[in-house]
Amino acid sequence: MKRVLNFIDGQFRPPCSGRYLPNVNPATGGVIGESAESGPEDVDAAVVAAARAFDSWRRTPAEERSRLLIRVADLIEENFDELAQLESEDGGKPIALARRIDVPRAIRNFRFFATAILHAETACHITDDRALNYTIRQPLGVAGLISPWNLPLYLLTWKIAPAIAAGNCCVAKPSELTPLTADRLAALTLEAGIPPGVVNIVHGPGGSAGRALTSHPKVPLISFTGGTKTGADVMARAGPLFKKVSLELGGKNPNIVFADADLEQAVATSIQSSFANQGEICLCGSRLFVEKTVYEEFVDRFLGATKKLRIGDPQDATTDVGALITEPHLRKVEGYVELAREEGGTILVGGKRPENLPERVADGYFLEPTVIAGLDCQRRVMQEEVFGPVVTVTPFDSPEEAIAYANSTRYGLSASVWTQDLQKAHRVAAAIESGTVWVNTWLLRDLRVPFGGMKESGLGREGGFESLDFFTEAKNVCVKL
C-alpha cells in the first residue's frame, strides 16, 4: 500500500487535513494505496515555496536549466519499467501502451524543452532611423499546472518541462485518480538536482486543491488539461484575476475515410484511434465517417479487427484494451451505449462487459470495444464526448457532406482524413474546424507543432515555441536612436 504525500519545497509532506483519498486499481477494483487529500492551505504552502525559489531559478542560466532537465529525462529513462508499471496499475491502461507511448513521451517532453530553450530567439524591430525595439521574454513566476488521469505522466511532463525550462517555478495538481507517476516524478526531480521549490506537486480533489490553484492570487498563469465543463470553471475563477490561461479540453473527433483511401491502413489505424487507451484519449476519433461506396467493405473489415482486440489484464504485455478509469465512468459509458439504442442506433459489436476475464481482473471496470451504426449526427451520442471504447460509424456521399458532419459538434480538437487524393486532402483539412488534422495517420506528434483545440475544445496553443511563449511574458524595450 503506497501512501502518496505532497511534494513541497523539495520535501514530501502530509496534507494539512491529515486525510487521504483511496487509490483504486481500475483493473482489479482493489485499493492499492492512498494519496493526500489537499486543500487551499497545502496549495498556499506550495505557492509560497515556488515563489521563493523563483528568484534564483529565473536567474539560473539556460544552459544549467537545460542540463538539469536533461538529467530528469535520463532518470525517467533509467526508471522506465517501474514508471510503465505504475502508470498501468494506476490508470488501467495496457502496460504495452504505457511502454510505447506514455513513458517515452515523458522523456521526450523533458529533452525537447531542455534543448528548445537553447535555441529560442526573440524579435528586433528597427523603427526607421528613430528607434531600436527588441523583445525580451521573461518567466511569470509560479505556474499552476492541472492535468487529467488519462495520460498522467505524459501530460504532467508536457506542462512541467516547458514551465520550468522557461524559468518559472510550478505547482502541479495531477488527477487524484492517478497520483503514482507524479509522485515518482517528484522524487526524480529531486535526484536530478532541480532546486527545492522549483517543482511542487499537490495531490487532492479538483474541487478543493484544483480550485485553490486557479483562484490563488499569486499564481499568474494556469495551464489546464481536462474536460470542457471543468475548463469553464477554471476560466470563471482565473478570468477575474487576469491570469494567463491555456485550456486543453475535450474532443469529439471525426475520422473521415474516403473511397480512394488505402483501406488496410485506414482500418488498422482507425482501430487504434477508436480504442487505444480504452478510447480514453482526447484525440480519439470517436466518430467514423465512411464514403458510401466503401462503407460496407470498411465496416466489415473494421468489425473483424475490433473482434480480434485482446481485452484483459493490463499487466499482460499482449493486452490491447484495459480497464476504464472508475466504476462510475464505466457506468457513464454504458449509459451512452444504452442511449444509442434508445436513439435508434444499432450496436454492431461490443456494448457489454466482457466475460471470462482472468481471475485477477474479474472485478475490474472493463467494457468491450463497441461499434455503433445508424445514428443521426445530431443525436447525443454523436454530439457528446463519451471517452470510452465506443465509436460510431456513419456513411457519407460527398466531401461536402463529410465536412458538414465533421463540423457538426461544439468540439474542434482533432480530425483524421483518409484519402490518396492530395487535392481533396488539403481541401478537406482546410475546411475542418479543428486544431489538428491528420491525413492518412493518427497521433503522429512532432513536439514543435502548435497543439490545441478550436471551439469548445480549448483556448490557446501549446507545443514547441508556442509553449515557451505561453510560459513567458513578452516585453518590448524601445531605445531611441
Quick one: 17 exposed, middle or buried, by C-beta within 10 A (0-12, 13-18, 19+)? middle
In the complex with ligand NAP, the residue whose CB is nearer, 289 or 411, is 411
Neighbours of 379 (CB within 10 A): 18
From 37, 248, 280, 368, the catalytic residue = 248
Between 226 and 369, CB nearer to ligand NAP: 226
Task: Give me the amino acid identity at 214.
Answer: T
How is residue 378 annotated by DSSP?
Answer: T
Owner of C-alpha cell 461544439: 410
Question: How does DSSP classify residue 240?
Answer: G
The rounded distance, in Å, linking the Cα atoms of 464 and 451 is 9
Which stretch in 27-35, 204-212, 340-348, 468-476 sits in contact with ligand NAP by CB under 6 A?
204-212
- x/- letters, 212..251, toward ligand NAP (CB under 6 A): --x----------xxx--x--xx-------------xxxx
Alpha carbons 103 and 84: distance in angstroms, whole number: 6
Closest residue to ligand NAP, based on beta-carbon distance: 206
CA torsion 449-54-149-15 (nearest 10°) is 180
Q: How far is the CB of 247 from ligand NAP (least distance, A)?
A: 8
Candidates 66, 157, 175, 274: give the one binding ligand NAP (CB under 6 A).
Answer: 175
- Per DSSP, the residues of 292-361 read HHHHHHHHHHHHHHHHH--BS-TTSTT-SB---S-HHHHHHHHHHHHHHHHTT-EEEE--SPPSS--GGG
Q: Residue 413, interface with ligand NAP (CB under 6 A)?
A: yes
Sheet (strand 31-36) strand order:
2-4, 31-36, 20-24
When asked if residue 105 is in the footprint of ligand NAP (CB under 6 A), the reply is no
Stretch that binds ligand NAP, among 140-148, 253-261, 301-309, 401-409 (CB under 6 A): 140-148
Of 385, 433, 456, 466, which one interacts with ligand NAP (CB under 6 A)? 385
Cβ 351 to ligand NAP shortest distance, Å: 21
Q: Does 210 bind ligand NAP (CB under 6 A)?
A: yes
List the catalytic residue out of 169, 282, 284, 377: 282
Nearest approach, Cβ of residue 211 and ligand NAP (Å)? 4
**Judged by CB under 6 A, which stretch of 72-80, 160-168, 169-177, 336-344 contacts ligand NAP?**
169-177
Which part of the chain contacts ligand NAP (CB under 6 A), choosing from 77-85, 171-179, 259-267, 390-398? 171-179
DSSP state of 191: H
Cβ 409 to ligand NAP shortest distance, Å:
13
User: Per-residue x/- marks for ligand NAP, 245-284, CB under 6 A?
Assistant: ---xxxx------------------------------x--
Q: Is 154 in the site for ligand NAP (CB under 6 A)?
A: no
User: Could you confirm whether 400 is annotated as catalytic?
Assistant: no
**Contacts (Cβ under 8 Å, ≥6 apart) of 347:** 337, 340, 341, 370, 371, 372
State residue 397 phi and psi, 5-degree precision. -100, -35
**Cβ closer to ligand NAP: 168 or 175?**
175
Please identify, using beta-carbon distances, which residue of 238 and 288 lies nearer to ligand NAP. Answer: 238
Q: From the CB of 410, what's the least distance to ligand NAP, in Å?
A: 13
- 377 as an active site residue: the answer is no
State which residue, 32 or 132, has the beta carbon closest to ligand NAP.
Answer: 32
Name the nearest CA neighbour of 225 among 291, 149, 277: 149
Minimal distance, residue 154 CB to ligand NAP, in Å: 9
Lay out the sheet containing 124-127: strands in order across: 124-127, 131-139, 472-480
Nearest Cα to Cα of residue 481 among 173, 131, 225? 131
Contact with ligand NAP (CB under 6 A) among 29, 195, 196, 205? 205
DSSP 8-state class, residue 462: B
For the chain, state the CA radius of gyration: 23
Question: Whose grid coordinates read 482489479?
Answer: 28
Q: Does 179 engage in binding with ligand NAP (CB under 6 A)?
A: no
Residue 268 backbone phi and psi in degrees, to 5: -60, -45
Q: Is the separation of the CB atoms in 109 and 223 below 8 Å?
A: no
Among 24, 50, 177, 321, binds ligand NAP (CB under 6 A): 177
Binding mask 1-30 for ligand NAP (x = CB under 6 A): ------------------------------
CA distance 146 to 331: 25
Catalytic residues: 248, 282
Tell me which residues touch ligand NAP (CB under 6 A): 146-151, 155, 173-177, 205-207, 210-211, 214, 225-227, 230, 233-234, 248-251, 282, 385, 387, 413, 453, 458
